[in-house]
Amino acid sequence: MELVTAAGTAVRSGEELDGVHVDAAHHRVLFENDVVRVVESVISVGERTSLHTHRHQRVMYAVSGTSFVRRDERGAVIESTRLSDGTAERRVMWARPTDLHTIENTCDQDLFVIAFEGHDSHTS
């Protein structure tokens, strides 16, 4: 199945839209087994990621640069971590699977995040 963004760009659905597949410049797998995948994301100051998804729930730890803006496939802001006093919120965040989005680093330092993704199919 192909999706078309507001900008007219065709993208495919499913695993091919996962951040490590469509945006390897910003996301890379550090470790993976049948229980967890650990993904490193580095977004330099002022950069924006390609349109991508995250298929699994995850815990994210922001090592540096916690200020960012998340936009949906139409470019509308759906989350901003910049607070009115100029500081950034949360260093540790939990997130459900995320639909198509981009992340723009709005901080004055590189955004460096380690995500620990749980594989949904794992049962104890």
Q: What's the angle, vertex CA 16, arms to CA 15 and CA 20, rounded to 5?
A: 90
Does residue 124 lie in a domain region? Answer: no
Does residue 47 lie in a domain region? Answer: yes
Would you give per-residue pLDDT tens digits along the chain (124 residues)? 344 444 445 555 567 899 999 999 999 999 999 999 999 999 999 999 999 999 899 999 988 887 889 999 999 999 888 655 555 556 788 889 989 999 999 988 899 999 999 986 544 4
Neighbours of 58 (CB within 10 A): 22
Report the number of distinct structural domains present in the chain.
1
Neighbours of 19 (CB within 10 A): 24
Does residue 53 lie in a domain region? Answer: yes
Does residue 123 lie in a domain region? Answer: no
* Rounded Cα gap, residues 82 and 80, in angstroms: 6
Q: How far is CA 108 from CA 39, 105, 120, in A?
A: 22, 8, 35
- 122, two tokens: 């794992």
pLDDT at 14: 60
> For 123, what's the count of Cα atoms within 13 Å in the CB-facing half-sphere?
0
Contacts of 24 (CB under 8 A, 6+ apart): none
In which domain, by residue range, is 52 found? 2-118
pLDDT at 1: 37
Q: How far is CA 85 from CA 39, 77, 82, 89, 90, in A?
A: 30, 19, 8, 11, 14
CATH number at residue 96: 2.60.120.10
